[in-house]
Chains A and B, each alone.
Chain A
Amino acid sequence: MKLFSNDIKSVSLQIEKGLLLPLASYPFIEELKKRIGMYGIVNKAIESLVIESFGVEKWDKIKESSDVEVDFFISNEPYDDDITYSLAIAVAKEMNITVGDVLVAFGEYWVLKTAKEKYGNLLEAGGNSLREFLINLPAFHNRIMLIYPKLTPPEFKVSHLEETSLHLHYFSKRAGLKDFVVGLLQGLGKLYKTEVKLEVINDRDNGFHHEIFKVSW
């Protein structure tokens, strides 16, 4: 994971120190598996990330350990969230890091590699700067619903708009992908070459309705 090696290292340290729990200890795993559904492009992104970072053999191993039998992910086809999550878990297990960190890495990779490669400049059409993009993010994400009918995209809202910060509200029927959003936001920061700082103000894990990220730049 070249792009995220620093994150992985820090996460690994946390695992060594016993600060992060092993995957299996997360209680919501089974619940999550029932609820989440992702387009293939996300799984492909995971595949690409793993292959790019660790090679094909590693990916094969992860896929084998994840029990995912799908040989090829079609980008515009939805796949059971179970697959995505299994992959994430498998990666986490294989790399000995948390699933959260895996998702963060996925998020970043998705913005910086997948979206860029697949969608080209469409992503950048969302705004000339991070602030602009984030402001347009809700509308942008709403448009996706029609383009990907099988997808139930999350909804975003922006509040507390400042010159160098805003609050991004994240509404999703999937739980546990908060870290993926974090990764996406971090990726956007890198895309727009803007150092971004994220703060999870509200977290459903903590009983809030939805996640609110304070995004500062």
Chain B
Amino acid sequence: MTRRTRRKLTNGVFLALSLIATMMGLACLAAILWTLVSNGISGMSWHLFTQMTPPPGGQGGLLNALYGSAVMTLLGILIGSPIGVLAGTYLAEYGRNSRLSMAIRFINDVLLSAPSIIIGLFIYEIVVVRMGHFSAIAGAFALAVLAIPVTLRTTEDMLNLVPLGMKDSSAALGAYPWRTTLSVLYPAARSGIVTGLLLAVARISGETAPLLFTALNNQFWSTDLNAPMANLPVVIFQFALSPYKDWQELAWAGALIITVTILVLSISARVLLALLQAERGSGR
């Protein structure tokens, strides 16, 4: 074999391997989605949205879990995102290159990939232990802590994308930075910030580990924020690992609902971002 053919062969082998790796990655996504659809679709019915989680062997749905997930995710975003947006504003507008900002940026990136179960333990220690019992509000706090890094990161990035000229014009009119931020920068970066919020919702709505020992779970309908509350991920966890066929079926249906919701959220966030970039590219 000549040197030339050997080099060509090596090249061919590695490029083929890279193609195979890509195919396998896509196959995994397809396999997961297919499993969810084929197992979950049979459980899809109105019962899911009108009835409570049943005892083993009983008829039922996921209404309390869906409600609980919606409430805690919403509360998590309501608590977490203002903090994330304000902190992102500080980094983009006031702090910039100060040592404090560098540290915060670094810590935020660490929090972004920190294991969510650790956040669960943290909230358990500072909220559940203090209150003496599990509660929906503790679950919402845990989700809020997870939402902060996502919104902070996107807010800072999006504010940095706003053309400097707009900021300067506002300052030239005599506006103070707070006025510029509220009346010029936030409106200009609005869709970017909304993207961050969507990503944060997508991130926290599927989280299970931080809810296990904060919100716990609840077999029944409950709107009391001060008491344990049912939520979809923990119900899926509990039902999927149970030996009961009808519980497992509900788990699959729940898994399908949660995944479709999150994928739709992620895709809309991406579309919004693409639109934003297209707009930036053509205008100005």
Q: Do A and B bind each other?
A: no
